[in-house]
Chain A
Amino acid sequence: MSIIIDKDTRLAISGLTGREGTFHGLRNRDYGTRVVAGVTPGKGGQDVEGIPVYDSIAETVSEQGANTSMIFVPARFASASINEAIDSGVDTVIAITEGIPVMDMMPTYWRAREKGVRLIGPNCPGVLSPGKANVGIIPAQFFDPGRIGVVSKSGTLTYQIGNELKHAGEGNSSIVGIGGDPIVGSDFIDILTLYEADPGTDLIVMVGEIGGDAEERAAEFIAGSISKPVVAYIAGFTAPPGKQMGHAGAIISGSSGTAKAKQEALEAKGVRVGKSPTEAAMIAVDTLRASS
């Protein structure tokens, strides 16, 4: 089993006709994802390597039965595209685009919540369910099918941990990149809830980083609502206060949101936290084997 995407996913890609959109869209299709349509206003009727392009996301729902939308359009147009996707009738919107202004994302976030549409991202690598479907830019070769669910704020760190799990002979039910922006559609808690309910997931690895309080809130939630073992890794122990390190979300001020505060919050609730990505992967493997 897996979460969010699988063999039933019918994907429409906004921005498919762009350079990056074409590259990753075709990679997703090559992996086995059912890419049913692309969307670019004004280019309806064209196709990209056989994938039909429509003017609107709503048309891909009515014409091709799309149930998932991926957003690959430039930042300044992206929130409008996400809004269009939320209103189109798809269940899930996965926004890869980086650099969307937070004041654009705020109303978009609430729109998705109100309409009951699952939004992943923005500024995230997407979702991969190994052996079933890949939506986004996660390099699938580092992940095998298996029973560990991964949820992460960071792309490359996730690949690192996935690769270590693979070398240790373990695989993943799904890998979800939630993104590191100040406002993202789905938080750790949303994804932990899905993994808890997924019979194909036996253990959850969460990868966090400095900024915000999503990890602290996740710790509380895990204590009350998650019965499966959770292993964590947090990046950013040496980040100086007040400096921004790449991800717009990774800003810390004062002591709230520091890596140490997050580690302590998680450990206080019984979550084991690895000191390095390698150690986190090893703890996950050991815990999984001890429990089965």
Chain B
Amino acid sequence: MDLLEYQGKELFARHGLPVPPGSHATTAEDARAASEQLGYPVAIKAQVLIGGRGKAGGIKIAGDGTEAYEYASQILGMDIIGPHGEGPFKVHELWVEAGSEIESEFYASVILDRSEKKLLVMLSRMGGMDVEAIAESDPDALVKQHVDPIEGLDDETARDIVSRSGIPSEVADQVASILVDLVEVAHKEDATLIEVNPLIVNSAGKVILLDSKVTIDGNALYRHPELEELEDSVAGDPQEAMAKERGLTYVKLEGDIGVLGNGAGLCMSTLDVVAQAGGSPANFLDAGGGSKADAIVDALEVITSDEKVKAILFNIFGGITRCDEVAKGIIEATRRIGLTMPIVVRLDGTNSEEGLALLDEAGMTNLHHESTMLGAARKVVELAASETEKN
């Protein structure tokens, strides 16, 4: 789960890390009131889960109440596109923050390094730009240090990282102590990524965490009830929210072909095969192992609530999942939600013959059966295209 900037900063503050004072706002009026409390200048910052907000106009500095109100009105409702074309992400929330006078900008992060199976600390005296740019423009300016998986990060190692980074000695102790704390936050809060960019020195010589990018391990949310609550507020897409409520793994995509598979790998593979056949998947939906009829009904309801969907592909390889259960689910769901759009089904594995017999008996005219994955993908692409022509 990714945290919004202000949620990350609140997390930092709970662990005693220095962040600027700020306030959360969802209306321009609230933003102005918060600004008055904080004193000017203030930064009005869009809260979206994507980088490049500043360039997209999602961060503005206001010098008085009129500006605060005006900027907040502009930013709320804005669609922000990420640096790699991600999104759009609509802005629903703002973080209003006391302005900081920046003397220098650094970069700090703690990330799970999957290859080494350890946490990796990265620190650079060149902050404010993205880490790839730092690594490219001046590789020596980015210090990397793995953390002992049992002992954590000790003060001595932290001071060594800081000294290698070339960060001025006047602030070295503050930065070293922040690194130690960030590693502790990663351990205690189950964060697999913490990125602070920039980490600044203000005019008073104090080191402050001016931004936050935090990813929490979804598997560990059970031991962080306060973060688990945030999760609901973050899920923005209606289909994704609906799927989550029903315990389904669903990711919305851009296309018009609904896809349902069992198992994450097979489901991803199905998306690939649909794309190879010239189609464009509308979603990823993993119905999971042991999919029962009710789960299939839920899944079909989620898929068809996306208005873009023109046709649906079921790709099931029954291992633990029984194909007859899946077939029952398809029949029941089609009746329950009065589904008329074309459905292509490929059922293989455990009880596939029973499943196909059930589908035959049901005599659904919108249902097509294919025996291979590739054949099913071609068929669904063809049907989606002809549905588009009809409209």
Contact = CB atoms under 8 A, between A and B. Distances in A.
B264 A247 contact: yes
B268 interface: yes
Interface string A138-177: 1101100000000011111111100100000000000000
A123 to B, nearest CB: 9
Contacts of B219: 75, 99-102, 248
Chain A CB within 10 A, most for which of B112, B117, B269: B269
B96 to A, nearest CB: 27
Interface in B110-145: 112, 114-115, 117-119, 132
A75 B284 CA distance: 25
A101 B264 contact: no
A139 B349 contact: yes
Contacts of A235: 265-266, 268-269, 272
B104 to A, nearest CB: 27
A101 B217 contact: yes
Contacts of B276: 275-276
A96 B341 CA distance: 38
A160 B349 CA distance: 8
B115 A107 contact: no
A24 to B, nearest CB: 9
Given A103-B187, A245-B251, A155 B265 contact: yes
B204 interface: no
Contact of B222 (A76, A238, A246): A76
Contact of A247 (B217, B265, B272, B289): B265
Interface string B223-251: 10000000000000000000000000101
A264 to B, nearest CB: 16
Contact of B192 (A102, A107, A109): A102
Interface residues of A, number: 62
A107 B149 contact: yes
Contacts of A247: 264-265
B220 A278 contact: no
A213 interface: yes
B165 to A, nearest CB: 23
Interface stretch (A10-18, A60-68, A84-92, A204-212): A204-212
B307 interface: no
B289 A155 contact: yes
For the complex, would chain A's binding face be called helix, strand, loop or mixed by DSSP majority? loop
Contact of A102 (B132, B217, B262, B269): B217
A236 interface: yes
Chain B CB within 10 A, most for which of A153, A156, A248: A156
Contact of A154 (B112, B263, B275, B372): B263
Nearest to A99: B219
B134 to A, nearest CB: 14
B117 A278 contact: no
A278 B251 contact: no
A207 B265 contact: yes
B200 interface: no
A217 interface: yes
A270 interface: no
A100 B284 CA distance: 23
A276 B261 CA distance: 15
Contacts of B373: 160, 276-278
A163 B317 contact: yes
Nearest to A239: B268
A242 B320 CA distance: 30
Contacts of A213: 114-115
A50 interface: no
B315 to A, nearest CB: 9
A157 B269 contact: yes
Interface string B307-348: 000000000010110000000000000000000000000001
B29 to A, nearest CB: 33
Contacts of B320: 137, 139
Given A103-B217, A154-B265, A160 B317 contact: yes
Give me the 10 closest cross-chain CB pairs, A-B, nearest first.
A154-B265, A156-B263, A246-B264, A101-B220, A157-B265, A156-B266, A139-B319, A235-B268, A235-B269, A238-B271
Interface of A: 75-76, 99-104, 106-107, 109-110, 125, 137-139, 141-142, 152-160, 163, 180, 182-183, 207, 209-214, 217, 233, 235-250, 254, 259, 275-278
25 contacts: A101-B220, A103-B217, A104-B220, A106-B117, A110-B150, A125-B319, A137-B289, A139-B319, A139-B320, A153-B265, A160-B373, A163-B349, A183-B112, A183-B114, A183-B117, A213-B114, A213-B115, A235-B272, A236-B268, A239-B268, A239-B271, A243-B251, A243-B284, A246-B249, A254-B132
Interface of B: 84, 86, 112, 114-115, 117-119, 132, 149-150, 186-187, 190, 192, 217-220, 222-223, 249, 251, 253, 261-269, 271-276, 281, 284, 286, 289, 317, 319-320, 348-350, 372-374
Given A245-B284, A250-B264, 7 more contacts: A102-B217, A154-B263, A158-B265, A236-B271, A245-B249, A245-B267, A247-B264
